[in-house]
Structure 1
Amino acid sequence: MIEWKVDLIKGNILKSLIIFAMPIFISNIFQQLYNTVDTMIVGNFLGDISLAAIGACAAIYELLIGFAIGIGNGLSIVTARCYGKNDHDLLKKSVAGSIVIGIFIIISIMIISRLFLFPLLQLLNTPENIIEESYSYISMVTLFVGVMFIYNLCAGLLRAIGNSFM
């Protein structure tokens, strides 16, 4: 069986760091490509207004991605410390606590987004002719924001124990 952990303490640190960072880099590119693919499909099939609506939501989408990555990495800090101390009981508790906090954050974002997306689009000076379509698009994205947060939480927890490949 292949061991997917990188030992960042022993051996060539630069090589280990590059090997550890590559999957993280690639996963971040794929998260960014989601919006790019949306843009390509909409631009080719739905027209200029729909394409402008997606463009108007780009800043909100990037904010959500950054927040998801930050939450995933932030919640994994305690897990990394427990793993480093080899404290398996506290490690299990930190993972469970991270999941509970993550679920709370997901639900909060879904509720808050329903309340503030339209005013946020108005604050961003979204043109009147695309604001409804922009709202529809970003509402759909935030409806499934939980998937992005769960992925980033799981990825952060795996990185906390030295596994950036899964």
Structure 2
Amino acid sequence: MNRALSVTGGVSSDFDLNPDVVLPEGRKLRPAAVLVGVTMDGSVLLTKRSSRLKHHPGQIAFPGGKQDEGDANLAATALREAQEEVGLPTEIVDIIGTLPTHETVTSFTVTPIVGLIRERFDPLPEAGEVEEVFTVPLTHVTNPARFQVEYRRWQGRRRRYYTVPYGPYYIWGATARILRGLAERMQA
């Protein structure tokens, strides 16, 4: 993992697979962070978002969200959000690095913060935001052969994106793209 975190470059976006998309000049991107939490047994912590949410209902995501004014840095944002969303105690997470930023279609610049979760904890999903908390083996989501490119119609156009399904979980969009970047780094 440390070798993967030392690889430079690799900024990604929801538009990577869609070169025909023209992004508006002067767009304002808001800072956000997610926690790529790796457990001691070699799994990655993920959530299934509540189906009642306005944005990205029912999607698989890392714990995370927008940076608040009170957050000291983006690592603090990721840790705060993980504590709020899944009850992850911040004191059992060792931040080991960051992955390149990812620009979303919802105008966020997301910084993936990689942290080792060094103790077991009992997840406590925040009912308004998180429907389920689960883990996926790191070996599954860092194997490039497990990824597929699929598409949907979005704003009248065909939009391509990565997927990395795991059992009943359809991992796609920004989460899959961030994991695909990690997989590429692990293979480098």
Q: TM-score, normalised by structure 1?
A: 0.29
Larger Rg: 1
| TM-score normalised by structure 2 residue count | 0.26
Structure in which a larger fraction of residues adopt strand: 2
**Structure with more helix by fraction:** 1
Q: Which has the higher contact order (CA 8 A, sep 6+)?
A: 1
